[in-house]
Every structure is written in structure tokens, then in C-alpha cells.
Structure 1
Amino acid sequence: MGCRKRELAADLLRIVVLPEEAGDGSRPVVPDPRRRLPGRGAWLHPVSSCLSTAHKRRAFGRALRVSGHLDISALEHHLENRHEHS
């Protein structure tokens, strides 16, 4: 989604947007590493550079087919923790 390079699904992180809105009216985009959350998902390389590229391109709304402000802080936190544990 960010860099648009193709990979095997096992090497990508599935992300979904939660249906409920946060207090500020944004909808949270969350990682789905177990690939079990309901709803439309999108795939992203699990690296911060791919995340920032997707955010700059505003690719989340198009890929997930949602409009409005999307909160990617949970996704950023997941990638930071994943990098620290590697």
C-alpha cells in the first residue's frame, strides 16, 4: 500500500479500520497481525518507511474505502514495538 511493491502475504501486515470513532471524530486504523479482524483490510510492509509513504500518499482511505480523518497512531505504535523486539 505504501511503496506498492509486491510481497508474499506472510511478509505483509494486514491493517483494518475500526468502525467506532474516537473522541476526536477520527477512525482508528489498527494492525491485524493474526488476520482475524472483520472488515475490509489492506496490506502494508511492516516497516515505518512504508507506513510514512502510505500516509503521505493518503492511501489508507482509498485502500480501506473509508472517508474522513483516520488515526494511525496504533499502527505506528505497533511498528515501533515490533522493531524494538526484532
Structure 2
Amino acid sequence: MAETSNPVRTCVGCRKKTSVDDLLRVVVVAGTLVPDPRRILPGRGASLHPTAECLRAAERRRAFQRALRSSVPVEAGPLREHVLGASS
């Protein structure tokens, strides 16, 4: 029986390709970055390692705005709380 492979995505923070199981999906809801750990929210998503380092790198490079094709700056509050709360 052939093994099914997991999809591969690129982290918007460190730019490394890895399995979707290791990444956190992020979507924009009303101008705010929202974590989507169950991968069920509608809309375009960006993938991120759930670490403070990758989050900081993505914010510094404005990678979320580019990856999610947002023409306005996005607020990272809920995402920051989710990532930093999980890493402590």
C-alpha cells in the first residue's frame, strides 16, 4: 500500500519548507491575523512555525501582508498571544 504524503508549505518567517503538520495556519479576519490550528477557517492562509523567532521574522519582513495579499497592514495581536502563550 502506498503511503500518503503530507502537503508541504513554506514558513513565512524562516522560509523553510516543511510538512503542514509542523506549521500553524494563519488567516486574516477583519484586518487581524488569527491562528487557525484546525485549518478550517475560510480564506487565504499563510503558514508559520509556531515559534517566537519565526513570528518576529515574519513581522519584520511584513511577510503576512504579502502572503495573504492584504493591501492594508494587519494586526498580529491574537496571533502573537497564541504563539507566545504556546512557547512559554
Q: TM class, shorter-chain normalised?
A: 0.7 to 0.9
Question: Could you give the per-residue CA deviations for residues 48-85 of structure 1, whole angstroms, max 9, x where no partner exists?
Answer: 1000000000111110011112100101100122123x
Q: 1:46 offset after TM fit, Å?
A: 0.6
Matched, 1:12 2:16: no
The secondary structure found in structure 1 opposite 2:71 is coil
Structure 2, gaps ≥5 residues long: 1-11
Structure 1, gaps ≥5 residues long: 21-26
With CA pairs under 8 Å and 6+ residues apart, which has the higher RCO, 1 or 2?
1
> Greater helix percent: which structure?
1
**Aligned partners of 2:52 and 2:87 also within 8 Å:** no
* Bigger radius of gyration among the two: 2
TM-score normalised according to structure 2 size: 0.83
- Equivalent pairs counted in the alignment come to 77
- Which residue of 37, 41, 57 maps to 1:53? 57
> Greater strand percent: which structure?
2
TM-score normalised according to structure 1 size: 0.85
Matched, 1:32 2:36: yes
- The match for 1:73 is 77
Matched, 1:2 2:42: no
Could you tell me how far apart the structure 2 residues matched to 1:41 and 1:72 are?
14
